[in-house]
Amino acid sequence: MSYPYQIRSIEEYQQAWRDSVTDPEGFWANIADHFYWRKKWDKVLDWNFRDPEIKWFQGAKLNITENCLDRHLGTLGNQPAIIWEPNDPEEHHRVITYRDLYNKVCQFANVLKNNGVKKGDRVCIYMGMIPELAIAVLACARIGAIHSVVFGGFSAQSIADRIQDAQCNVVITCDGAFRGAKDIPLKSVIDDALMACPSVKRVIVCTRTRTPVSMLKGRDVWWEDEIKKVETMGNPACPAEEMDAEDMLFILYTSGSTGKPKGVVHTCGGYMVYSNYTFVNTFQYQPREVYFCTADIGWITGHSYIVYGPLSAGATTLMFEGVPTYPDAGRFWDIVDKFRVNILYTAPTAIRSLMSFGLGPVNHKDLSSITKLGSVGEPINEEAWHWFKDHIGKGKAPIVDTWWQTETGGIMITPIAGITPEKPGFATLPLPGIQPILVDENGKEVEGNGVNGNLCIKFPWPGMLRTTYGDHERCRKTYFSTYDNLYFTGDGCTRDEDGYYRITGRVDDVLNVSGHRIGTAEVENAINMHHGVVESAVVGYPHDIKGQGIYAFVILEKQTHDQELTRKDILQTVSRIIGPIAKPDKIQFVSGVPKTRSGKIMRRILRKIAEGDAENLGDTSTLLDPGVVDDIKQGRL
Ligand code: WTA
């Protein structure tokens, strides 16, 4: 496959960016021309940020899986589409060619149809990182069902919330998942979740761990049995459903500053073009390169840069079931060595964690195949950047520090590998089609270089979210109402003297823990559900490995005799309500939290204390009871 829209030099980049601003419709139409559409669009773009209403490639008909699979069969049929490396290095890896993948997706799409799944139905997918997860995702897209993948680390309660919100009627899961030394009992978690989800009529269970599971008659079926049934029917092909460019492709839940996660909606046409364009350009993908993104498909990075971006580009995408430190901290490097990985895309938290093991696990691994490196999910500190550059890229491979969000669908601000001069800690420049702008609190544009502001985007791009599922008003309020006529990212940002962008972190009440977004309000709600808790306040603090840690200040009804046990009980509650990823790193029991006279918690003060900067609390004149602050300072953990 060749990519006529692949940028080859910094001049080409600058030209493309200018073109995308002067004639966005012409720019994107030229790129979209290189995809397979059943019918081309009547209009490239229709939009306003007031409602908001965003429509790309209106009138066009397509199926994204024909672009990810069918169109490659002639030329790439025998090329590996997915290379899968299991959790246990002793277990055999799998190589799935484009033809195999096509067959498997068609087969499972037929299974879905046999089980009554129709276009527009919502299907919840809760699986570990096995090829069947990618197959399930693509099979949904094949028949026009809307997938909602839920990360395997979320609790039954979180899954139930997501299933109810989207009114899913089918769940696809596994008996269990292997993650490092642990087995996660996925089916049993689903069973708990489904007690509160009458909309679910069918659960399809794929075998992975052979953990005993209960299979409810009439509701639960085995993946393998269902495949056999369609095989005996003889016809493995499954015609792709014809979709409108603006039909929903998937829902992915993500945390915001309120207690309830929202279902970010992406649509077929724009998302396809954008995930592909950004993949091909950012990583400068060359045919036959082996590309390894270490994310989980439960997050947007996995959707866009393990599944849709690479596959629509005919790339070889490596999918890894395990964790970076199992069986030891050399696992990534073993995988790079074993499969001659060319492009490695990972998260700063993983880099920092591996750094902490020293160079032992890196030495003597052959990393000479690596030509490009990528980072995503949180700001990358300079130390981690240099370690990645020197020890993994051997000083030669460019690093792309890619800034983007679940809502943006694809990479927004990033160096183009080997083309944009890089600067540690900087996401550098916007991709073509992206018009960033910095504003102050009042929404006034901050112009020029060497400035700070809140990061907004002033013009639509094809991969942007269209709505939040079932609640369009929430989408408008969250992203389009803070500043007039702008999409607000929630991130703070610097533009330096060279015009380079550096993302400084969230300016709202969203934490970024190990690259995972967690709302402080969500964690507080979970803590407050614990028996005996009167109130809580949650803030982030700098954490060496996770980037941000979770610090909870908790007021109990009465003194507890065993603080340690109560602390553990609270952690257990948070695990149950949200999942282990949201467990606070520190819980401090306090008699009160600082509030304004109108009763608002002054998080700014708590944040300072948690960060260990209690001497610079700033203006405390509006505090209701200044004594509370001294108590908290003294009890700091
Ligand atoms: C943060 C992940 C700095 C940012 C793709 C954003 C980053 C949030 C970077 C989105 C980066 C992501 N540098 N910060 N390169 N990439 N972020 O939705 O705060 O899980 O708003 O999407 O992660 O997280 P999400």
Quote the tokens at residue 316.
Answer: 């070889």
Q: Are 376 and 279 in contact (CB under 8 A)?
A: no
Query: Distance between CA 169 and CA 200 in Å, rounded?
Result: 4
Hey, CA dihedral for 517, 519, 525, 531, is it positive or negative? Answer: positive
CATH code of residue 572: 3.30.300.30
Give 567-636 as a DSSP string: HHHHHHHHHHHT-GGG--SEEEE-S---BBTTS-B-HHHHHHHHHT-TT-----TTBS-HHHHHHHHHT-
Atom 11 of ligand 1 has which residue's CA nearest to it? 403
Instruction: Give me ligand 1 centre to Cα 531, in Å.
Output: 34
Q: Are 197 and 160 in contact (CB under 8 A)?
A: yes
Residue finishing a domain among 188, 210, 244: 244
Whether residue 285 lies inside any domain: the answer is no
> Which has more pLDDT, 560 or 431?
431
Query: Distance between CA 223 and CA 102 in Å, rounded?
Result: 17
Q: Which of 275, 303, 513, 517 to mutate to test the pocket of ligand 1 (most atoms within 8 A of CB)?
A: 517
Q: Are 464 and 54 in contact (CB under 8 A)?
A: yes
User: Could you identify the atom of ligand 1 that is nearest to the CA of residue 503?
Assistant: 3
> What is the band of 256 on the pLDDT scale with cuts at 50, 70, 90?
confident
Question: What pTM did the predictor assign?
Answer: 0.96
Residue 560 has pLDDT above 80, yes or no: no
Q: Are 186 and 152 in contact (CB under 8 A)?
A: yes
Q: Which domain covers residue 182, as residue numbers?
A: 98-244
Tens digits of residue pLDDT in 180-197: 999 999 999 999 999 999
Whether residue 278 lies inside any domain: the answer is no
| % of the chain exceeding 90 in pLDDT | 92
Residue finishing a domain among 244, 260, 295: 244
Query: Distance between CA 513 and CA 547 in Å, rounded?
Result: 6
Quote the tokens at residue 429.
Answer: 């420049």
What is the count of structural domains for the chain? 2
pLDDT at 558: 87
Residue 89 has pLDDT above 80, yes or no: yes
Strands (E), 394-545: 399-402, 436-439, 451-457, 467-468, 487-495, 501-506, 510-513, 516-519, 533-543
Residue 536 has pLDDT above 80, yes or no: yes
Q: Which of 296, 487, 512 to mutate to test the pocket of ligand 1 (most atoms within 8 A of CB)?
A: 512
**Pairing label, strands 510-513, 220-222:** unpaired
Query: Distance between CA 581 and CA 563 in Å, rounded?
Result: 22
**Pairing label, strands 436-439, 451-457:** antiparallel
Backbone angles phi, psi at 634, to 5 degrees: -70, -35
Query: Distance between CA 614 and CA 551 in Å, rounded?
Result: 15
Average of pLDDT values for 11-23?
A: 98
Whether residue 629 lies inside any domain: the answer is yes
Bridge partners (DSSP) listed for residue 589: 554
Average of pLDDT values for 304-330?
A: 98
Backbone angles phi, psi at 598, to 5 degrees: -90, 5
Query: Angle at which helices 98-114 and 223-232 pack, to 10 degrees?
Result: 90
Instruction: Give me ligand 1 centre to Cα 11, in Å.
Output: 28
Longest dimension (CA), the chain: 76
pLDDT at 199: 97
Whether residue 402 lies inside any domain: the answer is no
Instruction: Give me ligand 1 centre to Cα 215, in Å.
Output: 39
CATH code of residue 113: 3.40.50.980
- Please name the amino acid found at residue 621: S
Hey, CA dihedral for 219, 223, 228, 233, is it positive or negative? Answer: positive
Whether residue 224 lies inside any domain: the answer is yes
- Using alpha carbons, select from 308, 402, 298, 395 the residue that is nearest to residue 346: 402
- Using alpha carbons, select from 311, 290, 286 the residue that is nearest to residue 131: 311
Task: Tell me which residues have their CB closer than 6 angstroms to ligand 1.
Answer: 254, 299-301, 376-379, 401-406, 427, 489-491, 503, 505-506, 512, 517
Residue 626 has pLDDT above 90, yes or no: no
Distance between alpha carbon 594 and the CA centroid of its chain, in Å?
Answer: 34
Residue finishing a domain among 244, 259, 279: 244
Query: Distance between CA 268 and CA 274 in Å, rounded?
Result: 10
Backbone angles phi, psi at 549, to 5 degrees: -110, 165
Q: What share of the chain is helix, strand, coil (3-state, %, to 5)?
A: 30, 25, 40
Q: What is the mean pLDDT of the chain?
A: 96
Query: Distance between CA 561 and CA 578 in Å, rounded?
Result: 27
Q: Provide the 3-class DSSP secondary structure of residue 32.
A: helix
Whether residue 577 lies inside any domain: the answer is yes
Instruction: Give me ligand 1 centre to Cα 378, in Å.
Output: 5
- Using alpha carbons, select from 248, 271, 273, 150 the residue that is nearest to residue 472: 248
Do you find a cis peptide bond into 131, omega within 30 degrees of 0?
no
Query: Distance between CA 224 and CA 206 in Å, rounded?
Result: 7
Query: Distance between CA 268 and CA 254 in Å, rounded?
Result: 19
pLDDT at 81: 98
**Pairing label, strands 436-439, 202-206:** unpaired
Query: Distance between CA 149 and CA 158 in Å, rounded?
Result: 12
Average of pLDDT values for 116-140?
A: 98
Tens digits of residue pLDDT in 201-238: 999 999 999 999 999 999 999 999 999 999 888 767 89
Instruction: Give me ligand 1 centre to Cα 52, in Å.
Output: 23
Q: Which of 403, 412, 502 to mutate to test the pocket of ligand 1 (most atoms within 8 A of CB)?
A: 403
Q: Which of 346, 380, 405, 516 to mutate to test the pocket of ligand 1 (most atoms within 8 A of CB)?
A: 405
Q: Are 277 and 481 in contact (CB under 8 A)?
A: no
| % of the chain exceeding 70 in pLDDT | 100
pLDDT at 235: 66
Query: Distance between CA 164 and CA 260 in Å, rounded?
Result: 12
Residue 621 has pLDDT above 80, yes or no: no
Tens digits of residue pLDDT in 391-411: 999 999 999 999 999 999 999
Atom 14 of ligand 1 has which residue's CA nearest to it? 378
Whether residue 34 lies inside any domain: the answer is no
Atom 1 of ligand 1 has which residue's CA nearest to it? 378
Q: Which residues, 6+ apart, have CB-to-CB distance to 435 below 8 Å?
A: 21, 457, 458, 459
Residues counted in the chain: 637
